[in-house]
Amino acid sequence: MSPTRSIVTSALAVVLAMSVALPAAAQIFGRPPAYTPEPGARDLKATLFNWAWHMGMLRGQAEPELVATLEYEAGGSVRIDGQACALTGYRISANYRIPGYRTQIDCTLPDGQSYSNVETISGVFSWDEDMPGAELIPGEGAATPRPAALEERLIRLWASPHGAPKAAIAAAADMPVSESFAWNPAALLDARAEAGVEPVTTLEWQGDRAVLTFPLPGVSGAMATATLDETFLPESVVVTHEGNTTEFLYGDFDDFNNPLHRIEALYAGTIVERLNGELVRDLQTVETEVGQVYVVVPVPDSVRAAAGN
């Protein structure tokens, strides 16, 4: 992958791992044989399993959900201060388990001026960086707290092609995403049903399209409605929160990993984001790294201090 800019500090290294070390790894071994939905099954368990399975998110013999991170590059445009800004670089480094990500944006405004920013979240913190990893090495870069942007950025993460099925499975199990990770979705729902847990995720069918509704993690009151096509890939995720509607449209799914690391893990080739009908982002995927990469997003001391931590 050709990075939009180099990331040189070990604190934010993104290193391809040759193996997976998971806290829940002990649960994976000894699981029963992989679950196979009946043809045409329309129940919640089968639908959630099919969604993750068709996305290529279930890996290994017992088919646990094992997509922990994402590296993503795209072209297209983003909205900056009400203007379309043509991308010259767009890279996301995401960790779904913290949650955390950096979105590096470089683009050109209609008047020819350049815009550059790094949108960052980690857990309950949100900030901007003038370079990836700003302030992690004293004297290098500046981090600007953006607490008001946290919910918007969490919505973008959990409504994403990977984030939405993770959030829907976690809500169906009524547990945090960090705990539903590394489970086979069907085995997880069976275990939770045996424990008397009622799913929060709901399902209805509109013809041959499954429509699932579920809350988004970390954003109080945010509800997402995901519509899957007949092959269980998401066509849209619509999020309502505090009177606002954010719509994400997805299409042209494919394996965009480097040709030497194709693993049949799919991602959206086109991503359109609208807020209350206004275009926010229009992205065309260039390349992904869907596998096991190492993404950490440490919080600068200045950002913690600004939040009173």
CB neighbour list of residue 106: distance below 8 Å, 6 or more residues apart: 4, 5, 87, 88, 89, 90, 114, 115, 116
Tokens for 125?
């913190």
One-letter amino acid at 297 equals V
The pLDDT tens digits along the chain (309 residues) read 433 333 333 333 333 332 333 333 334 444 455 789 999 999 999 999 999 999 999 988 889 999 999 999 999 999 999 999 999 999 999 999 889 999 999 999 999 999 999 999 999 999 999 999 999 999 999 999 999 999 999 999 999 999 999 999 999 999 999 999 999 999 999 999 999 999 999 999 999 999 999 999 999 999 999 999 999 999 999 999 999 999 999 999 999 999 988 889 999 999 999 999 999 999 999 999 997 666 678 888 888 988 887
**How do the domains of the chain map onto residue ranges?**
41-306
CA separation for the pair 23, 298 (Å, rounded): 20
pLDDT in tens, 249-298: 999 999 999 998 888 999 999 999 999 999 999 999 999 999 766 667 88
Q: Which fold has domain 41-306?
A: outer membrane lipoprotein receptor (LolB), chain A (2.50.20)
CA 5 to mean position of chain CA atoms: 21
Instruction: Pull the structure tokens for residue 126.
Output: 């949100």
